[in-house]
Chain A
Amino acid sequence: MLTEQKLTRRNLLLSSFAIAGGFALSVKVPAIGAAAKFPTVGTPFPGLTLPEDFSAWLAILEDDTVVVRSPMPEIGNGVLTQVGMTIAEELRCDITKLAPEFTSPERDAMDNGVFTNAVTSSSLAFFCGRSTDALRTKAMLQAGASARERLKAAAADEWGVPVAEVTAENSVLSHKSGKKLRFGEVAAAAAKIELDAEPELKPESEWTILGKTEPGKIQNEQIVQGQIVYGIDVILPGMKYAALMQCPVQGGKLVSYDESAIKDMPGNPKVIVVDPTEKRIDPLIPPAYGPMAWPMWGVAVVADHYWQARKALEALPIEWDPGDGAKWTDDATLKEYAFSRIESGEIEPTVTIGDQTAIDSGEVISAEYFTPYCDNAMLEPLNGTALVTDDSVDFWFSMQNQGQYWSVVSQEAEMAPENTRLHQTFVGGAFGRHNWGDEGYMITAVAKKMKGTPVHVIWSREETFAQGRYRDAMASKLSAVLGKDGYPVAIKAESVAGPLAGYYQHPMLMGLIPNATAGWENINTHILTGPYRGPGYNSASFMIESFTDELAAAAGIDPLEYRLKLYSKWVDPGWVKVLETVKEKAEWGKKLPEGQAQGVAICNWAADLQAEPPFFGSTIACVAHVEVTKDGKLTVHSLDVAFDLGKVMNKDAVLAQLQGGTLFGYNMSMNEGLTLNNGAFVETNFDKYPVFRMGDVPEVNIHFEGLSGDDRFSETGEVGVGPVGPAIANAIFAATGKRVRETPFRNADLSWS
C-alpha cells in the first residue's frame, strides 16, 4: 500500500522528471539533429550487436549519424536534445548528425547496469531522472570523449601518424598533412579499439556547446508534422483495441456484467475482466520506486477498432460495489476530518528544531490552509499496448520511468526480465502521472488474456480522470510567535495529507527559525495518489508562503522587504539574489490604482542541505500583479519570475520549462480541484475540470538575472509551479484585505468594499 512505500520522502523530492539547462547564450542552433529519425514502432531497441557501437551510450554509423541512447524519457522538457548536446561536447561531432533514441532497462541489465550505474551515488539510480544530473552528465561526457579518442586512434593507424597529431572536430578527423577522414569512415575500426586509459574530460570553462548554445528540441520537425509516436500512436499488425472501465470509486469491486448485451455489436466485441484476486507471482525485478501499484478490478471490451470497443463498453451493463471509499461523501466531510485531526493535537512531530515550548511562549499567530486533490490532466489519455506470447512480453507505453514498468509488466505477464521488452514512446504530457506502474498492470492483464495478439488499451478521457493517481489533498495549520522585531522566533506546522504531501521543504522549517516543529499524519482515504508536478512542494509552497505574508502583515513590514531580511540569514545566498532580481524586474512597490496590487512568494525545490557539500537545488520567486473588482472578479495581469539553478545548460530549454511551470502553477492555483461525491470525483472531463486557454493567461516574464553561477545545474521541471499561487493570494490580500487560504481561487468570494 502507499503508506508502506519504500521510497523515502527525500528520495522523492530529489527524483525529478525534468531537466535543467543552459547559462549563456550566444546563437541558437535550430538544425541540431537534422539527421534524427526516430525509431519506428515495432522495432526492438537497437544496439547490442551493432559493430559500430562504441558503448551503450552511442553508435556512429557509416554516414556519420551519431546514435545517442537516452535512458530518460522525453516528456516535453528537451531531454533528447540535452543528451545529444552532452555527447557532442566531447565527441566533437557535427550536431546535425545527432540521432538520439530511447534505450531500455533490458539493455541496461544486459550491459551490467551501464546506465543506472552512472547515477548510483545519487537518488536518481533508475530509469528516469533529469538530464543534467551531475553524475549522468559526467558519464555522457566520458562516453563522448572515449569515442573521440578511439576515432582519432583509428585515423592515426590508417595514416601511420602519431595519434597526438590527429584532431577531431565537426565529425571530421584531420592531420596537419591535410589528410582528412569522416567519423563514419573509421567508425567500425574505432569501435574495436581499446584505450589504455580513459581520456580526461576538458574543464567546464572550455565547453563550447553546453551552456553556450540553446538549440530547440531535436524532435520539433517531426512534432509539427504529426510524425512523433506517442503511446497512443502505436499500431501493430493484427492489433486489437480495448476500451477499459474501472470502478468509479477507487478500491471498489466488480459485482456483475452482462456480455450478452453486446454480443451482436460490430467489431467482434469480447469482454475481458481484470481480477486483482487472481493469484500472481512476486515481482521478478525490484520496482524502481518500490511497489507503488497493484492490479485493480477492471472490465475491458476488446474489438477490431477502438470506436467499436468503446461503444460496446458503454453499452455493457456493469455493476460495481463502491466499497469503503463511498463514506467520503463530499469535500466537507474530508476537510472536517482533516482539520479535526489537526485540532486533536495528536499529530506526532517529525521535525523538531530548538526549544519545542517556544511556540507557547507568546502571542501565537495561526492560520489554516487547504489544497484539494488534483489530476495531472496530461493531454494524452491513459493508454498502452502489450503483446504477450508464450515466451515474451512486449510493452509500448508513454512511460516516465521504465524501471518501474519493467518490473510491473514482467510480474503481470509472468515473464523473465530478459523476455520483458519495453518500448519507450514519446510522452503526451506526464507531469508525474506515468511513474507508479498502475497502467502497466492493467494493460498487461488485458493483453495476457489475448495471447499472441497485440492489444492497445485506451482509457477514455472520463476514465483517465476517474482513475488518476492524484495530487494529494493537504490540510495544514501553521502557527508562529513573533519576536520584538516582528520576525518569527518559533514556528509550528501540523498537516494531514496524503503520502506525498504534508511536509515543508522550506527554510522556515529547516533551521532558519530557531525553534520549529512540523508533523504530518496520513489522511488515509481510498483515493490513490502519486506524483504531480512538484509533489508536496506544490501545496506546501502555497501554505508556507501565504503564512509568511501573514507574518509580515502582522509585523507591519512590506512583504518583500520582510523576506529579504528573513533570508539574509539563510545558508544559500541565492535566495536574496532571486528576491532582489524579481523586486527590480517587477518594479515592486510601483503605484497602482485601487483594486490592483502586487504579491510575492519564494520557494525552493530539491535542495539537500545534508549533502556534502550542501546542494542548494532550484530557488524561485514570483511577483504577481493582480486586479480585483469590488464585486470580486480576479484578473492576474502579470507574473514576474526570477530563479536560481546555479547555472543552466540550454537557456531556451530552461525558459520553456519555466514558462510552462508558471502556467501549470497558475492553473493549479486558480482552477484545479476535484470534488468528492460519495467516493467518486465529479470532474471527469475538461468541461468540468478547467484548464486555461491561450486567451486566459497573464503576461509571464522569466528573468535569468537571479542565477548565482553556483557550481550546479539544478532542475527546472517542477520548481516553476511553487510560487505562483501564493504570490497571487498575497496580491489578492494586498488589493482587498482578504486572505485566500484555499485553492482553487475561482471558488473564493473576493468581493470587497
Chain B
Amino acid sequence: MSITIKINGEQRTVDADPDTPLLWVVRDYLGMTGTKFGCGIMQCGACTMHIDGVATRTCMFPLSSLEDKEVTTIEGLGKDGLHPLQEAWVKNNVPQCGYCQSGMLMAASALLATNPDPSDEEIEQAVSNLCRCGTYHRVKATIKEVAAAQKG
C-alpha cells in the first residue's frame, strides 16, 4: 500500500506491505537506521520511536495503523542541535556499544516531555529498555541530572 506519513516533521510517502512494522518501514524503506532492531517482540525497546509524542516500540506496529499519526525517530529528536538528554548523554559518557541507546533516549525524552520531575520508579518504569552492556546506572543518573537542570 502507498501511505503518506509525517516523520520528523516531513511528509514521506512509502509503498510497502500494510503489515510491515514501522521499524522496518523507517529503516529499510526510508533509510533511517538510527532506530534499532533488537528482538521483534516489543521486549527490548531498541526500536522505540515517538508516535504522537508517545514512546512506542515499533517492531510490531504495522504501517496500516499509522494513518494521521506523527512519528519522531532518534534522527529527529534534536530539533536545533542536540536534545538536552543527548548532550548530557555525551557529557556523562553513557553509551558503551551504543546499540540500545537510541531507544533509551526516545523513551527518556518522552518521559521528560510529560513528567519533568520523575521519581526513580517513574524513570525505571518508563525507560525499561534492555541494555546488555550495563549502562543502567549512568542512564538513570543522566535523566535525573537533565530533569534537575530543566527545573532550574
Contacts and interface: CB of A to CB of B under 8 A. Distances in A.
Interface in A198-239: 216-217, 219-221, 223-230, 232-233, 235
A553 interface: no
Nearest to B43: A686
B98 A219 contact: yes
B97 A429 contact: yes
A308 B125 CA distance: 34
Contact of B99 (A77, A230, A687): A230
A620 to B, nearest CB: 15
Interface in A678-734: 685-687, 691-695, 697, 700
B95 A223 contact: yes
Interface string B84-125: 001001111111111111100100000000000000010111
Interface residues of A, number: 60
Interface stretch (A152-160, A275-283, A659-667): A659-667
Contact of B132 (A232, A377, A426): A377
Max chain B Cβ within 10 angstroms of own Cβ: one of A226, A461, A662? A226
A220 B97 contact: no
Interface in B4-52: 16-17, 19-21, 24, 28-29, 31-41, 43-44, 46
Contact of B101 (A30, A224, A685): A224
Contact of A693 (B31, B130, B133): B130
Q: How large is the interface on B (under 10, 10 to 19, 20 to 34, 35 or more residues)?
A: 35 or more
Interface string A430-447: 110000000000000000
A241 interface: yes
B137 interface: yes
Interface string A229-267: 110110100000100000000000000000000000010
Nearest to A233: B33
B27 to A, nearest CB: 8
B24 A379 contact: no
Nearest to A687: B43
A169 interface: no
A207 B121 CA distance: 44
Contact of A659 (B17, B40, B99, B137): B137
A74 to B, nearest CB: 8
B139 A220 contact: no
B129 A306 contact: no
A305 B27 CA distance: 10
Contacts of B133: 76, 429, 660, 664
A427 B44 contact: no
A232 B37 contact: yes
B145 interface: no
Contact of A662 (B19, B37, B134): B134
Given A76-B96, A427-B97, A226 B75 contact: yes
Nearest to B88: A224
Q: Max chain A CB contacts within 10 Å: which of B39, B43, B121? A: B39
B58 interface: no
A697 B136 contact: yes
A428 B97 contact: yes
A656 interface: yes
Contacts of A461: 38-41
Contact of A686 (B41, B92, B124, B136): B41
B134 A661 contact: yes
A235 B78 contact: no
Given A220-B89, A379-B38, A232 B33 contact: yes
B56 interface: no
A460 B40 contact: yes
A514 interface: no
B44 to A, nearest CB: 6
A326 interface: no
A307 interface: yes
Given A216-B91, A216-B92, A225-B75, 19 more contacts: A76-B96, A76-B98, A223-B101, A225-B34, A226-B74, A230-B36, A233-B33, A235-B31, A305-B16, A307-B16, A428-B36, A429-B132, A460-B40, A659-B134, A660-B135, A693-B129, A694-B123, A694-B129, A697-B136
The 5 A-B residue pairs whose C-beta atoms are closest, nearest first, are A226-B34, A76-B97, A695-B124, A216-B93, A428-B99
15 contacts: A76-B96, A76-B97, A76-B98, A216-B90, A221-B90, A306-B24, A308-B17, A377-B132, A379-B44, A458-B37, A659-B134, A660-B134, A694-B123, A694-B139, A695-B124
Interface of A: 30, 75-77, 216-217, 219-221, 223-230, 232-233, 235, 241, 266, 305-308, 311, 377-381, 426-431, 458, 460-462, 652, 656, 659-664, 685-687, 691-695, 697, 700
